[in-house]
């Protein structure tokens, strides 16, 4: 049976509405608490959140469920998702919970759970927790909240860890940081200043409702403009929970996750640290990245979309580098999940160590035209059972004639069908992506 609450990145929805209503959140705390009590006499859980106005309430409702099962908890307050993952593994805690909806607007929120190893829960365990949640809801639970006070030393512990990984100081670098009015608003400026850079921070005044609002990793216009205005060496934008980063070069070029993987892979291979000469990415990564890596003798393995699936493949193959075009990049030597702050640190370090700009480091990446069209849908239906959609896909594949790709899938976090077409010719890519999207709209839009 497929999961009903957990998507590709935890439970997500509109705060206050199912599945993020008080009863379901409280039941999630009960379910997690019951699971932890079976494996430990005195389980401890760390809870963090981003800057959404609903975060504190959700954290307190979930803590209420944990308390009802006799589980102790520690509140890190505003911290990044990878910060929670790090704390869970290093302290260690029995589990970690992050309250965030990543890049979504403030009305949305979510619950991400980490095991004691710092890794996100596998699908099988999420399914088991779901079953307990539905059982508790069926019993008619009465949700109770527990007031939470921030333990400031927790987020500082994560910051000190990131600083400990810096081997090449960023002295002399002029950086612009777009904090997305999210979880990185305090940590990012302090981190990069202490690493030696001259920092200009923007979008670092969260008010509970401005997270990701025309800023952050999905809205790079303001960052790019500021980098050019300040004559900065580079800029970086984080999403709401700072598990991803998109960079901007001094010349204003967008450096996405694909470009980051190329820069990091080349440096690690040259230094003899790219295990198996392998990089793991997803079906969304550009064909240009695959070819650039191949020219260096590096193979690229693809997974389904979702950094948890990238990580699973990295663990299976022993790869140390993997990530997504969207900016989730995993340096497995240092982290168990994508980490935007860590990613930016590593790339800026490479720039300092090599004496090259981001434009120079990414100059050999030929990006093939790629278009992603999102189609809002009223239901999810087997794509194979929609003949007009299948016909449009087949016509696209024939036109590409083996040089290009088409990918149609449903989002794991939103009611969207995503159509991605990639090829050598932009006009053809646009034509076929919109034709497939129109066929989906006619069927289930």
Residue 295: exposure state from Cβ atoms within 10 A (0-12, 13-18, ≥19): exposed
170 and 288 fall within a common domain: yes
383 and 300 fall within a common domain: no
335 and 383 fall within a common domain: no
Residue 445: per-residue pLDDT:
87
Q: How far is CA 199 from the centre of its chain?
A: 24
Active-site residue, from 27, 94, 102, 285 = 102
Establish if 60 belongs to a structural domain: yes
Nearest-angstrom CA–CA distance, 113 and 61? 15
Show the domain range for 107.
6-155
Residue 413: per-residue pLDDT:
74
Instruction: Tell how strand 95-99 and strand 44-49 pair up.
Output: parallel
Q: What is the mean pLDDT of the chain?
A: 95
422 and 275 fall within a common domain: no
307 and 440 fall within a common domain: no
172 and 305 fall within a common domain: yes
Nearest-angstrom CA–CA distance, 241 and 78? 9
129 and 170 fall within a common domain: no
From 124, 155, 186, the end of a domain falls on 155
Choice among 20-29, 62-71, 411-420 with the minimum mean pLDDT: 411-420
CB proximity list for 427: less than 8 A, separation 6 or greater? none
* 102 is a catalytic site residue: yes
Establish if 430 belongs to a structural domain: yes
CB proximity list for 391: less than 8 A, separation 6 or greater? 439
Establish if 327 belongs to a structural domain: yes
> The CATH number of the domain where 374 resides is what?
3.30.310.50
> The CATH number of the domain where 196 resides is what?
3.40.120.10
310 and 204 fall within a common domain: yes
Choice among 33-47, 195-209, 261-275, 401-415 with the minimum mean pLDDT: 401-415
Contact 238, 217 (CB under 8 A): yes
186 and 315 fall within a common domain: yes
Establish if 397 belongs to a structural domain: yes
> How many C-beta atoms lie closer than 10 Å to residue 400's C-beta?
19
CB proximity list for 377: less than 8 A, separation 6 or greater? 410, 415, 416, 417, 440, 444, 445
285 and 386 fall within a common domain: no
Predicted structure pTM score: 0.90
- 125-176, pLDDT tens digit by residue? 899 999 999 999 999 999 999 999 999 899 999 999 999 999 999 999 999 9
Instruction: Tell how strand 245-249 and strand 234-238 pair up.
Output: antiparallel
Nearest-angstrom CA–CA distance, 181 and 98? 17
pLDDT (average), residues 272-290? 95
> How many C-beta atoms lie closer than 10 Å to residue 21's C-beta?
17
In the chain the first and final C-alpha atoms are separated, in Å, by 25
Does the pLDDT at position 56 exceed 70? yes
From 125, 155, 185, the end of a domain falls on 155
Does the pLDDT at position 2 exceed 70? no
Residue 107: per-residue pLDDT:
98
Establish if 326 belongs to a structural domain: yes
312 and 406 fall within a common domain: no
Residue 1: pLDDT band (50, 70, 90) is low
Strand order of the sheet with strand 10-14? 6-7, 10-14, 108-115, 95-99, 44-49, 72-78
Tell me which of 203 and 309 has the higher pLDDT: 203
Directed axis angle between helix 340-354 and helix 153-164, to 10°? Answer: 30
Establish if 160 belongs to a structural domain: no
Give the number of domains in the chain.
3
Residue 20: per-residue pLDDT:
97
137 and 178 fall within a common domain: no
């Amino acid at each position: 049976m497929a999961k009903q609450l957990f998507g590709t990145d935890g439970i997500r929805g509109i705060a206050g509405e199912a599945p993020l209503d008080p009863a379901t959140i409280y039941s999630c705390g009960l379910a997690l608490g019951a699971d932890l009590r079976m494996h430990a006499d005195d389980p401890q859980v760390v809870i963090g959140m981003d800057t959404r106005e609903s975060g504190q309430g959700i954290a307190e409702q979930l803590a209420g469920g944990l308390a009802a099962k006799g589980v102790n908890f520690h509140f890190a307050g505003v911290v990044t998702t990878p910060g929670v993952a790090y704390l869970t593994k290093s302290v260690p805690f029995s589990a970690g919970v992050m309250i965030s909806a990543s890049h979504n607007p403030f009305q949305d929120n979510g619950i991400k759970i980490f095991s004691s190893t710092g890794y996100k829960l596998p699908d099988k365990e999420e399914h088991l927790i779901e079953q307990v949640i539905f059982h508790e809801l069926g019993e008619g639970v009465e949700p109770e909240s527990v007031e939470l006070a921030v333990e400031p030393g927790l987020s500082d512990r994560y910051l000190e860890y990131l600083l400990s990984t810096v081997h090449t100081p960023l002295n002399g670098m002029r950086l612009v940081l777009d904090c997305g009015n999210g979880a990185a608003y305090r940590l990012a400026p302090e981190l990069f200043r202490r690493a030696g850079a001259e920092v200009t921070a923007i979008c670092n005044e969260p008010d509970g409702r401005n997270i990701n609002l025309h800023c952050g990793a999905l809205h790079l216009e303001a960052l790019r403009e500021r980098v050019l205005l300040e004559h900065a060496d580079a800029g970086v934008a984080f999403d709401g929970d700072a598990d991803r980063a998109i960079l901007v070069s001094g010349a204003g070029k967008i450096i996405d996750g694909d470009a980051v993987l190329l820069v990091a892979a080349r440096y690690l291979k040259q230094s003899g640290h790219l295990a198996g000469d392998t990089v793991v990415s997803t079906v969304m990564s550009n064909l240009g990245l695959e070819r650039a890596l191949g020219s260096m003798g590096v193979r690229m393995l693809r997974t389904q979309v979702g950094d948890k699936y990238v990580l699973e493949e990295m663990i299976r193959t022993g790869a140390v580098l993997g990530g997504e075009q969207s900016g989730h990049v995993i340096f497995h030597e240092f982290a168990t999940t994508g980490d935007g702050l860590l990613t930016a640190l590593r790339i800026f370090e490479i720039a300092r160590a090599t004496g090259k700009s981001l434009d120079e480091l990414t100059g050999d990446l030929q990006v093939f035209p790629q278009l992603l069209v999102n189609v809002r849908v009223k239901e999810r239906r087997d794509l194979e059972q929609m003949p007009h959609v299948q016909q449009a896909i087949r016509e696209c594949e024939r036109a590409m004639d083996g040089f290009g790709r088409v990918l149609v899938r449903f989002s794991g976090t939103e009611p969207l069908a995503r159509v991605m077409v990639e090829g050598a010719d932009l006009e053809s890519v646009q034509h076929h992506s919109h034709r497939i999207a129109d066929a989906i709209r006619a069927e289930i839009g």
